[in-house]
Every structure is written in structure tokens, then in C-alpha cells.
Structure 1
Amino acid sequence: MKIPLFYTLLFVTFLGFGQDNLTYQSPPESILELAEAPLAPSIRMDSKGNNIVFLYGSNFKSIDELSETEMRLGGLRINPITNIGSRTRYYIDVKVKNGKDAKEINISGLPENGRFANFTWSPNQEYMAFTNTITSGVELWVLDINKAQASKLSQPNLNANMGNPFTWFKDSHAILVTTLPANRKALIDTKEAIPTGPTISVSEAGVKAQNRTYQDLLKNENDEYNFELLAQAELYKFNLDGTSTLWKKSDMYRDLSFSPDGNYVMITTINRPFSYLVPYYRFPSSTTIYNVNGDFVNTFLEVPLIEDLPQGFMAERTGKRDISWRNDKPATLIWAEALDGGDPENDVAFRDEVFQQEAPFTGKIRSLLKTKDRFRFIQWGDDNTALAYDYWWNTRNTRTYLFNPSNNKQEPKVVFDRNYQDVYSNPGNFVTKKNHFDEYVLDLDKNNAFLTGDGYSDAGKFPFIDEINLENLKTTRLYQSTLTEQVEDISMALNANKGEYIVRIESKNEYPNYYIRNIKKRIGLIPLTQFENPFISIQNVQKEVIKYNRADGLELTGTLYLPTDYEAGKKYPMIMWAYPAEFKDKSSAGQNTKSSNEFTYPYYGSPIYWVTRGYVVLDDASFPIVGEGDEQPNDTFIVQLVSNAKAAIDAVDTLGYIDRDKVAVGGHSYGAFMTANLLSHSNLFAAGIARSGAYNRTLTPFGFQSEERNYWEAPEIYYEMSPFMHADTMKTPLLLIHGEADNNSGTYPLQSERYFNALKGLGAPVRLVMLPKESHGYAAKESILHLLWEQDEWLETYVKNRPETSEITD
């Protein structure tokens, strides 16, 4: 195989300026205009649909923000100066709308140049608490919804290193907050600290700890010291009148949760010993119950260090887990325990058993039910009605059980037993409402409940609302969308008995907006928001969902966009973007969840920008990897991958839109892994773009993505699926991009660096772009604009302007 001279010259030219100290670049104007278009706000709506809080964010962070001090400890990334997650995305403005017919208004009292996060409704939904991060720390603020007024409750002394640093008291008049200890010691500067000895890890014979390749783990005693200091916090009670009192002394607080009646608080703290193998949430922990005054009630659970779970996605630790409050009772705790020793290889009739215990948590423990597969959660209704859910990843199965929480002798009734990847048969989600504890429970009308679903089918997406009789399990359709030029989603029920629902409606050129729909009165839609399309230049782009068949007959889909300057009969270059997904049956793999009526929304990782540059774009192309019966999907990964790609190119070529010699493929993360494999095992593409991927699976030996088997159980799979192992066959121009601070499991920056070195050493046309300070997803404006520029240059050089007569390989 050889690379034509033309390609060699182009490659040298492109890398010529690529190897220089290149400053951040910006993409062409048509792409820049879309990338910088202002975003519509996120919204937080109360349960009655009366009040809406609008949260305005910036399109990007800045490289200055990403360059702020960061410590990576125990799976966390922390700014030790401000004491909040260093990758936190902030809002910069807040507005409110009081009443369905009111207009959006500004909030008085907000600080200038705010960086707002952690917005949380009070239980009565009259207030919303949030944090504001300044240069010296994190402040607690509260928004009075009816007055549209914000006020500061604390100094910049919150400890948000472990996540949201507060939770509301149930009376909505006070907030329980994690604050920095008054006497916190100084952190160790690990760059300057002088080692006192080596770091030693030990494995005992016969004790298996087959953990995935976590990032940002603790590495030594200095890291342990710093982690403990950064996790330590005091608990303070802040009243809305501005007063505060110490509620609990310093500890490593992980979770805070009030009982529905507000009389008890469940608090989980982190304990030593720490681990160098797993993140903080698998460190030892204690779960303790206190009363609302902070007095000790009892220690409910002690969990040891979790390093050595059995193998498999469905493995669990033994003992109490998934502890939560029962939403329909004042103060009752529920939890699950494994009946199979936590080992999915054990053959048992029931995997889990669910228990409950009432306050003061010293009395009788009562069994509620057993689940055939792994317990997930419960939706509570009343004394006689609740729904429990289980699932099993290996079979993609889930069950819904209807059971009587007051009578465990009454056999649970299986309401649904289905493949959760089968979207066409999805019965929907049960409707909930707030009860007198301000907790969400099943919305019941005597023996009836309600379901809302997406309504996917071969004909498209037509959401529905059903009523289900819990005695005979028969369903009655109350409503189904009939929109054919728009897409409707049922967001939430305002009042199921009255037929009032919040719906979201969009079209390919209409930005999604929210409305009230009454399915009983059949009156017109009542608009709640009026967001406008910020992407005017592509609002009329020709778009359709195409269906086509793989060689084995499996039906596939993709969303096809034509260039904004499309001319009938002209052949265009194409970009195909995809992400593989594993299935256990072909029926589910062939189902369509795309709609040509969905809003056309370009974001930094999207290929849609290039319709403005004269490209056909096939976005979200189906790349199912199917393994039925005893066969695992990855057993034939490469064959199916290439077959998916060929079917997509053939389908668009048959429509007459493209020059099939000018097709690029791209993807992010597992999509990057897909891209590298396609270039290694086929001659279908002129070029590829692979972002933040993993390319050598021997570096993730205890499983990756949806592969449960370890390397020693399936070495041929790990070898065959690793593009690094086939670098000698890869002769197609490949653009590798990676955030140099990638925090995703398995996609270490080393993956791209080593793959680039292999390809370079073998003479392949490849370019590696390492984005400073960026994680697995990219955030800084400078990085994203440069990313778009890199991709555009690559496509222009190796796809659009590739000569008609050239060849990629012999």
C-alpha cells in the first residue's frame, strides 16, 4: 500500500503550520456565527406550572477559567481556592416569570458578574436557593420567587467540593449547609513536597479487585491528606432571615437527606482508609440518623472500603444499599440487600430483597418484596399501592412490580416485563404528583394510574397519555399526539385528573417551547415560553431521516442534511458522524428514534456546521452492534462496524447526493474508537476525525464500554478491537483530538499520544491536537473554536479538495 504523492504534499503542508507554536484559531465565518449564537435559557418550573425560573448561561467557559488552580483527588476535580468543582458550569443571569400569563422579568439584588450554580427549589416552591462563586469562595443565595428578589445568606465560606453544598429543611424556612471548617489547616503543595518514602500498594492472594481504569485517583499520602482537608466541612443551619447556627461539627460529609416529615436527617460521611484504586464514593462510609435538632438517633449503616466486587456490571456489595426515604410516610427508611451474594454468576430465584424500617429505626425490620433481577427503585403511592422496578443488563430486561407495601404476603403483580431497549413497546412512565410532605408520589385516581410515553413506532414519534387500571392492568388511551410537522414531548402533568399537562413542541426550524395542553377540554395550547431560533442561517436546511438496510437485512437510520447551497444533481462531499451501541436482539437494534422534525441544534461536537461549507452531513447514523443468544455483541464488532458504514454510504450514494470517494467519518469517545477501527479495516473513507478516544484495549484490561469480559478471558476480542494493534493497516488521513485533562474512564490522553506515535512511526497521515486544560468534553471558547477550525481544515484538505483521480490505497 502507498500514499500518493499528492497526499504526501498536502500532509506536509498541513503539518507544516501544525508543528509550529500555533495560537488558537477561529473557524470560517459561517461556522463561527453558529457557534457564537446566544443560547436560550434553561428553565426550572414549579409543579403547578405557575412560576418559571430562567437560567441564562454562556456558550463557553474561557481558557482562563480552565486554567484556575485544580486538584484531582479521589475521582473529584476541585478548585481548592474557591472550594467547588473546578469544572462546574455556571449560569450568568437569572430571570423569573410569575403566573402563566406573566412576562419574564429581571431579578433584583443579583450580584454583577455572578457565577451561579446548584439551583434548588424549596419544598414549598416559594424560594430557590443557589450558589454564587467569587474569586475567594462560594456564597449561599436565595431567590424569593414571588418578589423576584435575590439575597445573600452567607459569606464565601461554603464547601461545595463534594457537590451541592446544601439541602432545604422541610419547613422551607431554613437551609442545611456544608461550610469550610473554621480551623482548616493548609494544603500540601504536592509539586514541592519532598517524599518521605515510596508509595506501596499490596494485593492479597485470591482477593480479586477487577476495577475499571478510573481517573484522578489518590496516589500517595499527600493526596490523602489533601483530600481529607478538602472534604471536611461543618454543618450550619442558615435561616432565611440571615441568622445562622452551627448544626454539626466538622466531618467528611457526602450526602444529606431529610425525612418527608422533616423530623429526621440521614447523613452519610466518608471514613478512612482511603484507596488508590477506586474513587471516593467507594471509600468506607457511615450513614447516621439525627433528629431535626442535630441530636444523634442511631448509626444505620457502616460500609467498608469497596475494592473487590465480583466481576460483571450487575455485581453489588452485600449488606444494605440504595437507602432512601419512603416518600409517602413521615419517616420510614427503605433499602435493598443482595440475595445472590452480589455475584451475578450465582444462580438464584431472586436477586434482591427490599426492606423497610420506621422511625426511630430500632424496631422491627419488615420485608416488602423480592425482585427477580437487580433492584432499581420504588415509586410510592399509598398504604396499599407502590411500584418497584428491577433490571438485568446482560438480558436488557426490566420488570415493573405492583405490590402492597402493607401486606408482604400478597404476591406482587408484574405489570411490565420487557426489553428496555425495545422503545416501540415502551409503556411509558407513571405520572406523579406532590403529596402533603412535598414529595412526589404516584398520581392515583381510585384504582387507576396514568402513564406518559414517547410513542415511538415505525411511523415516527407520537407521544401518548394512558390510564391504567391497577386491578386488571388494562390501559385506556386518553391522548396521542397527531402532530406531523412538529415533534411533541409530554414534560410533566399539572393535574392528571383535569387533563392538564406541560408539553414541549419543536420543529426542525422552531426552537423548543413549552405549552399547557388540556386533553379533556381540547382547548388551544397555552404558551409558557417564547424562545426564538438563534440559528437562522440553517433554519431552512433540507433535512430528512433516511432508512436503509445493512447487508444482513437489519434496518438502519440516520439524519441526513443537505448543504445550505444545495443544487439538484450536484455531487457533494459527506461527513458521517456516529456512535456504536450494543444490543441483544436485532428487533430492538433496528428501531428508529429519530425525527426530521426535531429542532436542528448545532453544538460544539456536532458535524451540522458543515452544511454551511458545502457538505452533506449524515448525523447520528445507526451503528448497532448485535449479539443474540450466547453470542456477545463484540464477538463480531469489526464485521458489523464496517457493514454499518458501508450501508450508510451506499444509501446516501443511491440518493444521488454524494461523491462516495469524498466521505469522512468522525466520532467522539467511543465514536472515536469506531472511527479509528473503520479506517483500519476498510477503504470506505477519505479521512477521519477521532476525538477523545481509546485505541488500545489492553490498557483497559478489566472491561470497557459494554464489554464485561476481562482481557484474559477474551484476549482475541481485545486485540481485534484495538486500532493500535492494526496501526500498520491504517493509511487514511486521521485527525486525532484529545483534551489533555481527560477525566473519562479509559480514555486517558495517553491513548491518543501512543496511537499517534504508532501511526507516525509507520508513516500514516495523522495529526494530533492536544487541547490544554480540557476534559473529556470541551468547554473553553478558545478550545472549541480551534477545534472547529482544525476539523474544517482537515475536511477541506483531505475530503473536499481531494482530486477526483487520487486514491487512498492500492
Structure 2
Amino acid sequence: MIFDPTTDKVEIIGKSAPYYTAEISPDGEYILIARLVEPWSHEVAWWRFAKEIEVWDAQGELVANIASLPLANEVPIHGVPMGPRSVSWRSTAPHTLFWVEALDGGNPVAEVPHRDRLMRLDAPFTAEPQEVFLAEHRIQPWRTAWGAEGGTLMLAQRERIKRWRYVWLLDVDEGTSRLWFDLDEADRYGDPGNPVFRTLPNGHLVLHQKVDAVYFRGSGATEQGDRPFLDLRHMDTGETERLFRCDPDRYEYFTAFAGDEDRFVFRSESAVDVPNYYMATIGKKIEAAEGEATRVLTHRPITLFEDPTPQLRKIKKRLIRYHREDGVPLSFQLHLPPGYEEGTALPTVLYAYPLEYSSAATAGQVRGSTQRFMRIYGASHLYFLLQGYAVLDRTAMPMLGDPETTYDTFVSQLVADAEAAVAKAVEMGVADPKRIGIIGHSHGGLMVANLLAHSDLFRAGIARSGSYNKTTQPFGFQSERRSLFEARDVYIQVSPTFFADQVDEPVLVIHGNDDSNPGTLTFQSEVFFEAVRGSGGTARMVLLPFEDHGYRARESVEHVLWEQLRWFDKYVKNAGTATP
């Protein structure tokens, strides 16, 4: 369907089909079409289905077939399908296509001089595609962007083993390329952020530039929490100029430029101030400490929203830092309920999600900010605060090690992470060691089940939409690259279903009945539940009708909240008074 906003005219072109891309060329002469075709597979997600990629004219007639891609059901672990991928128009040319192709068979462990190549095809799309650039590492198309003028293309590559990103600048017209900057993907403190975009009159996006410099915005992670920023990064020298940085006692971030580059809109909030928008004007240069803004900013309010839930402002938040037994720095955000009296040990809920890291330095970096204005929505664990619980949020659960073997020590590191968090909360006097519950979703659900099976730190647990038997994913999971047949013991050790007889604390298992995530299909919860119950453990399973990996319906969300509060009230807050 083509809609003309100037005339309100609607034109239907093409036949009915499962299309997933329909992108008009910058000059409006052609349409890039991608549609799914049979066979319909139950083994892979839809984006791995067979597909036809075509170019049509503006009337919907076929001009050229760019690629006919088969069902991608034999892609190597953490690999990519063969053939063109991420086909798109060049934003700064009338009708030129670019795409990426694998040169390693799509296999990330294949030893080859180049993993990917960048291809180009001009209208009328009948010639052979031209090779534009050879990439040593895997190209990340979602991090690729066109410059505002000329043939400039920002292109990102990812080195799998090091988890390292390289950002290149190409001139596809001149055939030149050079490395712009590189970074450790896990290093939040050194993250340069993401480029700001602007829309051309043709409707396509390009980098927002000021002469030869590109605007970047980022979260600005620090040891005290996130402090978002706006930078100007020069293409020639790589030098950056910091135009804006959030105040330490607030959470503020760039939203969009307002007419020109001297004015922009930003959002500002704090733990007690409702978010509002402001118009900022960039002024003269000033001397500033490293990392701080080097320009004077003046601003005026645009909105004056009021706090819809003032009761939540009585909740207190603190950033707590501590160390694991082996010295790895960790942190959590401590939330205390309204009316909390210092020195009172409370029933406590720990919420976390395990993440993999290559070094202790990045694993211990602080995530998030205690200056965010709290809103509680969905089936959030933060609702426990309104029932008198303390909550340890964003609890660090790092998995350190070589990316090839991280999961060899997954369980032992989980236990060490949890022991450190619990010990810190108890030492502070906020958590009653006999009344601590743990909750997690997806990979966090796996975490909950493993900690209940391999430790006695928690009184009860809630595992949501998790995966509890990794042998059902025999060709890799999360960052695990080895197959079941290469690391059989590891697959079993991280799978709590095999240790269900050791789960001697009550566990509530919740799952969407139509979970489409290949790694967390609903039957995983059903089998784990039966294994715990059949071994004499205390378990309850809740299957939510029509729900996917996350829960959307109001009825589902309210039901989950009721189940969670009821479970922990019974087995955590009132521990010792309940019976199975």
C-alpha cells in the first residue's frame, strides 16, 4: 500500500503475501521488497524462513530479483546465513543497493582472512554486484550508517573472541577505508555512545553531522551511575568535544535537536522529580574537568508534568558496591519501602539477570542510575516494595572467563555472586537472612532454579519464562559456542532439571503458554515443575494463556502479580508459618 500524504490517496500494489520489508528508494522510482516464502518451519524463527528479495517499480511491477534465500535451518552456532543479508538502499544515492555477504560459510570459527564483504548494485539491477569492502570480522549492519554527504559510510565490525568492536569510515565512491575508533563491547565506562541521525528530504536517515564531525549520545556510565552525554566526534582526528553531560544529582539525556545544532531538547528527572522536557541552548566554550561538558548551557522548561504517583517517592534508593570473594567488584540498587526505619531487617527480594564478561574490570561496572524517576509497571518485582519488602535490583551476576569456556564455571560463579549480594545486604542490616527470596525472568529464571538447587541462600524463588534443560538446545545457548556433543558435562551442569531433587525451597514457575523464544519453549517449565514436584519439592506452575516470552494482557499481568505476592508472603515474609 502506498499512501500519498499530500493528496490522501491510497494505492494498493502487488499481490497479498507475507511481506516484511517495503522500502522506497531515495528517488522514489523503485521499491525494495522482501517477502517470506514456503516452506514454513517450526524449527527456526520467522527471520530464518526462506525469502525472496526483489526490486519493484513504483507501480508494483517486478524489476529484478536480488536474491532467493533458502530456509536457514542449518546455520552454524552463532553464525549467519549465506547469501545477501541486510539489503538496503544507500541513503545518499538515487537508487543503489548495498548488502553484506559472509565469506566464511557463515561459520564464526572458520579460519579465513575475511569474514564478510560489502556489496553494491546499481539500477537497473541487471549487472553483477560489485565488491566494495572486505571485512576481517563480522559486519554489524544495524550499526552501519551513511554520512550526510558524498560516499561516507560508517561501518562496524565485531571480533567474536575478544568481544571487540571496530568502527570504520568508508568512502564507497573513492574506494577508501580507515579505522575510526574501536572499543571493548562490555566497557560501559568507555562506551562512546551511538550516533545521532537526521532525516533527509527523501525520507532516509543519515548521520547528523557538523561539517566533518558526528554527534554521538550515550548513557555515560560511571562508578556513581549513568550520566548521559552529547558529544561531537570528529571524523578526521577522532577527537571528541563534550557538549552536554547530565548533572550527578539528576538523570538527564539528549532527546533531539530543535531546528539547528545550537538548540536541543533534553529530558530531566530525579528520584523525586517527575520527568519533564527542557529546551537547551549551547553557549560559549568553558574550561571543564575531563569528561564534563565544555560548553555553557542555558535552558527553559517546555513541559510541567506532575507526579501521578507521589506515594512512590517515599521509596528510598541507594547504589551499593561490594566485592565477590575472589575480588570481583559488584553492585546492586537497594530499594527500601515507604516508612522504612534504619536498622530494621526486612524480608528481601533479589532480582538479577546473569551476563557474560571477559574481565573483572568490566564485570564490576555500575549499571543504571539511582536518579531515575521510579515508575512501576507490568509484572515488576518492584511492587514488593509496597508490601514492606526491601528489593535488591540490578544485582550484578557476572560470569567471567574466556568466551569459549565461560559456562564451565556458570553455577559456581552464580553462587559466589549471590553469596556476596546476600552477605552485603545482611551486613547493612536491611535484609533478614532467613527471609530472602529470589526472582528472575528468562535467563534469570535459569539463575533462580540453579541457585535453589545449588545453595541454601534463599527461602523461596520465582522463576519466570526460563530454560531449565540446556540439552534441548544442543547447538549452543546464550554465549556458549560449543555443542552438546563437545561439552556434554557443561550442558548438564547448568541445567537445573537434572538437579531438581536438590531444590528443597519452594519455587513458583511461571511461563507464557505460547512462548515463541526457541530457547525457552513452554515445555521447559512443565518438565522442571514435574521434576521438582516428583522429587518431593514444593512447586507451583502457572501457565498464562496466549502469552509469549513476556506478558502483555492486563489479566495476565495482574494474575502474575497476585501469584508473586502470594508466594513470597507465604514462603518468605511469613517464613516458618506456612505449610506446603
Same fold at TM > 0.5: yes
1:686 is displaced (CA, Å) by 1.0
What does 1:23-34 correspond to in 2, within 5 Å?
A: none
Q: How does 1:41-52 map to 2 (within 5 A)?
A: none
The alignment status of 1:505 with 2:268, answered yes or no, reads yes
Query: Residue 290 in 1 paired to residue 52 in 2?
Result: no
Mapped to 2, the partners of 1:684 and 1:762 lie a distance apart of 20
How many angstroms apart in 2 are the aligned matches of 1:631 and 1:270? 34
Q: Which residue of 2 aligns with 1:234?
A: none
Q: Deviations over 1:721-772 (max 9, x none)?
A: 1111111111111112222222222222222222222212221122222223
What is the rounded CA distance, in whole Å, between the counterparts of 1:603 and 1:245 in structure 2? 40
Q: Distance in 1 between matches of 2:242 and 2:69?
A: 46
CA 1:787–1:246 in structure 2 vs 1: closer, same or farther (change >3 Å)? closer
Structure 2 Cα separation of the partners of residues 636 and 592 of structure 1: 23
Q: How has the CA–CA distance of structure 1 residues 404 and 537 changed in structure 2, closer, same or farther, with 3 Å as cutoff?
A: same
Q: Which piece of structure 1 moves more, 447-456 or 718-727?
A: 447-456
Distance 1:426 1:442 in 2: 18
Given candidates 232, 243, 254, the residue that maps to 2:20 is 254
CA 1:781/1:500 → structure 2, altered by over 3 Å: closer, same or farther?
A: same
Instruction: Give the structure 2 partner of residue 275 of structure 1.
Output: 41
In structure 2, relative to structure 1, the CA distance for the partners of 1:658 and 1:285 (3 Å cut) is: closer
**1:347 equivalent in structure 2:** 111
Aligned counterpart, 1:531: 305
Q: Deviations over 1:311-334 (max 9, x none)?
A: 221x22222221100011111110
Q: What does residue 552 of structure 2 align with?
A: 779
**Cα distance change, pair 295–794 in 1 and its aligned pair in 2 (3 A):** closer
CA distance in 2, matches of 1:707, 1:776: 21
| Matched residue, 1:40 | none
- After superposition, residues 45-84 of structure 1 pair within 5 angstroms as none
SS at match of 1:438: coil
SS in 1 for 2:268: strand
Aligned to 1:515: 278
Structure 1 counterpart of 2:231: 466
Q: Structure 1 CA distance, aligned partners of 2:11 and 2:262? A: 45
**Structure 2 partner of 1:207:** none
Q: 1:648 is matched by which residue type in structure 2? A: A
1:323 aligned onto 2:80: no
- Residue range with higher mean Cα deviation, 289-298 or 553-562: 289-298
The C-alpha deviation readout for 1:399-455, integer Å capped at 9, x for no partner, is: 1101212111x3x21111111111111112223222232322123333333222222
1:91 is aligned to none
CA deviations 1:170-223 (Å, max 9, x no partner) are xx44xxxxxxxxxxxxxxxxxxxxxxxxxxxxxxxxxxxxxxxxxxxxxxxxxx
Q: Hey, what does 1:106 align to over in structure 2?
A: none
* 3-state SS of paired residue (1:704): coil
Q: 1:676 offset after TM fit, Å?
A: 0.8
The amino acid that maps onto 1:626 is L
Q: Aligned letter for 2:240?
A: T
Identity %: 36
Asked if residue 670 in structure 1 is aligned to residue 443 in structure 2, the reply is: yes
The 1:273–1:663 alpha-carbon spacing in structure 2 relative to 1, beyond 3 Å, is closer
Aligned to 1:541: 315
Q: Which among 427, 430, 454 is matched to residue 657 of structure 1?
A: 430
CA distance in 2, matches of 1:421, 1:533: 35
State the partner residue of 1:306. 72
Within the alignment, does 1:433 sit opposite 2:201 as a pair? Answer: no
1:569, CA displacement in angstroms? 2.3
Q: 1:455 aligns with which of 188, 212, 220?
A: 220
SS in 1 for 2:189: helix
Q: Give the letter aligned to residue 582 of structure 1.
A: E
SS of alignment partner, residue 532 of structure 1: coil
**Distance change in 2, residues 1:168/1:566 (3 Å):** same
Rounded Cα–Cα distance in structure 1 between residues aligned with 2:199 and 2:157:
24
Does the alignment pair 1:719 with 2:485? Answer: no
- 2:102 is matched with which residue? 338
What letter corresponds to residue 264 of structure 1 in structure 2? Answer: Y
Structure 2 distance, partners of 1:326, 1:683, is 57
| Aligned positions, number | 566
What is aligned with 2:155? Answer: 388
Please state whether the residue corresponding to 1:461 is helix, strand or coil: coil
- 1:743 matched residue in structure 2: 516
Cα distance in 2 for partners of 1:467, 1:270 equals 41
CA distance in 1, matches of 2:225, 2:70: 49
Q: Quickly say closer, same or farther: Cα 1:657–1:417, change in 2 above 3 A.
A: same
Q: Residues 104-143 of structure 1 correspond to what in structure 2 (within 5 A)?
A: none
The Cα shift of 1:709 comes to 1.9
Secondary structure, in 3 states, of the residue corresponding to 2:407?
Answer: helix
> How far is 1:561 from its partner?
0.9
Look up the match of 1:479.
244
Gaps of 5+ in 1: 1-165, 174-238
8 A contact 1:627–1:635 mirrored in 2: no
Return the match for 1:264 from 16, 25, 30: 30
Distance in 2, Cα, partners of 1:735 & 1:289 = 51
Residue 407 (structure 1) aligned to one of 167, 174, 187: 174
Distance 2:513 2:101 in 1: 41
SS of the equivalent of 1:727 reads: helix
Deviation at 1:584, TM superposition (A): 1.9
State the alpha-carbon separation in 2 of the partners of residues 739 and 442 from structure 1.
40
* Distance change >3 Å, CA 775–CA 468, structure 1 → 2: closer
Q: Is the 8 A contact 1:565 1:612 kept in 2?
A: no
Quick check: 1:167–1:257 contact (8 Å CA) kept in 2? no
Further displaced range: 464-473 or 656-665: 464-473
Cα shift at 1:363? 4.1
2:344 to 530, 546, 570: 570
The residue aligned with 2:182 is 417
**Residue in structure 1 matched with residue 288 of structure 2 by the alignment:** none
- With over 3 angstroms needed to count, the CA separation of the structure-2 counterparts of 1:712 and 1:388, relative to structure 1, is same
User: What is the deviation of 1:343?
Assistant: 1.7
Aligned counterpart in structure 2 of residue 755 of structure 1, from 524, 528, 531: 528
Distance 1:531 1:167 in 2: 38
**TM-superposed deviation, 1:680:** 0.5
Secondary structure, counterpart of 1:537 in structure 2? helix
Contact 2:282 / 2:298 at 8 angstroms: preserved in 1? no
The equivalent of 2:135 in structure 1 is: 371
Check whether the contact 1:431–1:493 (CA below 8 A) recurs between aligned residues.
Answer: no
CA 1:620–1:167 in structure 2 vs 1: closer, same or farther (change >3 Å)? farther
Distance in 2 (CA, whole Å) between partners of 1:678 and 1:684 is 8
Give the Cα separation in 1 of the matches to 2:452 and 2:349. 14
Instruction: Work out which of the residue numbers 358, 362, 367 in structure 2 matches 1:584.
Output: 358
Q: Pick from 560, 563, 575 the counterpart of residue 802 of structure 1.
A: 575
Which whole-Å CA distance do the structure 2 matches of 1:780 and 1:273 have between them?
Answer: 31
Find the aligned partners of 2:203 and 2:196 in 1 and give their Cα distance.
15
Deviation at 1:384, TM superposition (A): 4.3
Distance in 2 (alpha carbons) for counterparts of 1:605 and 1:442: 38
Distance (Å, rounded) in 1 between the aligned partners of 2:36 and 2:337: 54
State the superposition RMSD in angstroms.
2.3
Change (3 A) 1:438 1:528: farther
Task: Describe the superposition over 1:536-561 as per-residue Cα deviations: whole angstroms up to 9, x where unpaired.
Answer: 22212111111111111111111111
Alpha-carbon distance in structure 2 between the residues aligned to 1:312 and 1:673:
21
Letter in 2 for 1:511: V
